[in-house]
A and B are shown apart, each in its own frame.
Chain A
């Protein structure tokens, strides 16, 4: 089935019960806003038969009940939503501070990142905490925030061979992205530090500490502060 286009959005079936909507073919704030607005509009005015939504950098994957909907019907029902995206107002972005203990056992790849860019450890930390990051979306595992806004001087490719186990709370960088691992999972991002905060807890009202659209700052902390916060 060929891709079809509506305005700036392109539709493409991903499976017999899911449809990908692309707003762009590269990461941009504009595409992110479109993604966030479509998600918001679909939450406010759900389309019967859509059972799940997966926002990403510049796309949304919609999963539907294939006994109730077909791709073409869903596309038809979505068209009015695209015409109304400009009317959607997104909530004011929340600001979140994430304390991070950098380097050493907390960030085993920091030294190599520094060497790659001829930076001192302090310069790399200063760069990482200087930026304001945007939560483009949550994905991969529960509560994993994909953060855009990494300073150009820190842009580093992912590890050639992923780790089998990344400790929870690890702060990683990969290409232009930064992110925080909520759980012990395999992972190929370069780990520069770790936060003692629980990024995802099922016994909290806001299970995920971060939500789509949040603005994030990192604050450097010492190993002592890390331990204190972890036990708080």
Chain B
């Protein structure tokens, strides 16, 4: 089996696939890639199924040695990668020869870059998925972010190497957004019109202490005029909750993300639409974002449009 040796882990690098759905009754959230579109595209560049496990890097990439070589692709944000000192662009497959080292640096665009390896990362699955759930120390590689000295196995693959890339016009249509489209949250009626206007007309800044569990937003606090008593309930991915309680509490919103708590007791004003969730995975601290309300019909149409792009015959090019 081929391997990856971690010479430097980067800021926060974990093994991720498309996550584990179906374990809500156990309190286990899906986890999975923060930007699943980039993971899927990166996997396709190395001939893997969409769900193969890859390394998800955050803001600052790592340095990885390939003793036996590997076929690789980088997707998501540009972390200024080199292989033995020679620059490699994201969104195309390339070969690391035996003994070569891939070195990634600080991001030049968004928050996350994926290092996809032909065959995929071989880790022991937890509840059917390779995804790391860092808070509970489950899944991925020993349930944690990578450290210097870790050696990870690469699953076997046997396709001849082909240099593949993504059609630029499709890539540009899938690029991350800073205006996130939302549908109303289950407690949106708890927020008076003035709060709704404030929320949808303000610019928010992603706070430093944001992570895969949730993104804290700095910006205008949203008054809740609670008409009811909030009882803990299931929360959906991308829910925008406004912490606080009682009758007139003022607080800044939080976007619940892939490693989210499965249930929560705060009112949700809105929910990021499925098609825009991968964009949330590319938001960096201090990025400025806005929200735009759309109907459930529009949200569905945008998701289908996105999937049609991902299913396009022209997506992958030699």
Do residues A139 and B296 form an inter-chain contact, with CB atoms below 8 A? no
Please encode chain A, from 172 to 190, with 1 for each CB lying within 8 Å of some chain B CB and 0 for all others: 0000000000110100000
Min CB gap B280→A, angstroms: 13
Known: A26-B231, A70-B300, A202-B138. A15 touches B236 (CB 8 A): yes
Min CB gap B272→A, angstroms: 8
List which A96-125 residues lie within 8 A (CB) of chain B.
Answer: none
Name the residue in A16, A18, A70, A71 with the highest tally of chain B Cβ atoms < 10 Å from its Cβ: A16
What residues of chain A lie closer than 8 Å to B296, measured between beta carbons? 1, 13, 16, 70-71
Please encode chain B, from 98 to 122, with 1 for each CB lying within 8 Å of some chain A CB and 0 for all others: 0000000000000000000000000
Q: Is B21 an interface residue (CB 8 A)?
A: yes
Do residues A52 and B30 form an inter-chain contact, with CB atoms below 8 A? yes
Do residues B238 and A15 form an inter-chain contact, with CB atoms below 8 A? yes
Q: Is B148 an interface residue (CB 8 A)?
A: no
Stretch from B34-42, B215-223, B260-268 contacting the other chain:
B260-268
Please encode chain A, from 52 to 93, with 1 for each CB lying within 8 Å of some chain B CB and 0 for all others: 111111111101001100110000000000000000000000
Q: Is A25 an interface residue (CB 8 A)?
A: yes
List which B248-293 residues lie within 8 A (CB) of chain A.
Answer: 261-264, 268, 271-274
B interface size (C-beta, 8 A)? 46
What residues of chain B lie closer than 8 Å to A66, measured between beta carbons? 274, 299-300, 303
List which B283-318 residues lie within 8 A (CB) of chain A.
Answer: 296, 299-300, 303-304, 307
Stretch from A140-148, A214-222, A223-231 contacting the other chain:
A140-148
Do residues A183 and B135 form an inter-chain contact, with CB atoms below 8 A? yes
What residues of chain A lie closer than 8 Å to B26, measured between beta carbons? 138, 142-143, 207-208
What residues of chain A lie closer than 8 Å to B232, measured between beta carbons? 56-57, 139, 146
Do residues B234 and A182 form an inter-chain contact, with CB atoms below 8 A? no
* A212 to B232 alpha-carbon distance, docked (Å): 15
CB nearest neighbor in A for B263 = A139
Q: Is B54 an interface residue (CB 8 A)?
A: no
Min CB gap B141→A, angstroms: 14
Do residues B300 and A14 form an inter-chain contact, with CB atoms below 8 A? no
Q: Is A51 an interface residue (CB 8 A)?
A: yes
What residues of chain A lie closer than 8 Å to B27, measured between beta carbons? 138-144, 208
Which of B186, B229, B271, B303 lies in contact with A26, CB distance below 8 A? Answer: B229
Q: Is B85 an interface residue (CB 8 A)?
A: no
Q: Is A129 an interface residue (CB 8 A)?
A: no
Do residues A182 and B186 form an inter-chain contact, with CB atoms below 8 A? no
Q: Is A133 an interface residue (CB 8 A)?
A: no
Do residues A20 and B231 form an inter-chain contact, with CB atoms below 8 A? no
* A16 to B235 alpha-carbon distance, docked (Å): 13
List which B3-57 residues lie within 8 A (CB) of chain A.
Answer: 21-28, 30
Q: Is A153 an interface residue (CB 8 A)?
A: no
CB nearest neighbor in B for A157 = B245
What residues of chain B lie closer than 8 Å to A59, measured between beta carbons? 231, 233-234
Please encode chain A, from 184 to 215, with 1 for each CB lying within 8 Å of some chain B CB and 0 for all others: 01000000000000001010000110001000
Min CB gap A59→B, angstroms: 5
Q: Is A27 an interface residue (CB 8 A)?
A: yes
* A208 to B28 alpha-carbon distance, docked (Å): 10
Which of A14, A53, A140 lies in contact with B239, CB distance below 8 A? Answer: A14
Do residues A142 and B236 form an inter-chain contact, with CB atoms below 8 A? no
* A81 to B248 alpha-carbon distance, docked (Å): 39
Do residues B185 and A140 form an inter-chain contact, with CB atoms below 8 A? no
Do residues A139 and B231 form an inter-chain contact, with CB atoms below 8 A? no
Name the residue in A52, A66, A144 with the highest tally of chain B Cβ atoms < 10 Å from its Cβ: A52
* A104 to B284 alpha-carbon distance, docked (Å): 41
Q: Is B194 an interface residue (CB 8 A)?
A: no
Q: Is B136 an interface residue (CB 8 A)?
A: yes
Known: A16-B299, A52-B21, A57-B231. A67 touches B304 (CB 8 A): yes
Q: Is B126 an interface residue (CB 8 A)?
A: yes
Q: Is B160 an interface residue (CB 8 A)?
A: no
* A52 to B183 alpha-carbon distance, docked (Å): 20
CB nearest neighbor in B for A2 = B189
Given contact pairs A52-B22, A61-B236, enumerate 4 new A-B contacts (beta carbons under 8 Å).
Answer: A14-B236, A54-B262, A66-B300, A144-B27
25 A-B pairs (CB sep. < 8 Å): A12-B186, A13-B296, A14-B235, A15-B237, A16-B303, A18-B236, A20-B186, A20-B233, A26-B231, A27-B231, A52-B21, A53-B22, A54-B262, A54-B263, A139-B232, A140-B27, A141-B261, A141-B262, A142-B28, A143-B26, A182-B136, A183-B135, A183-B136, A202-B126, A212-B25
Q: Which A residues lie at the B interface, using CB under 8 A? A: 1, 12-18, 20, 25-27, 39, 51-61, 63, 66-67, 70-71, 137-144, 146, 182-183, 185, 200, 202, 207-208, 212
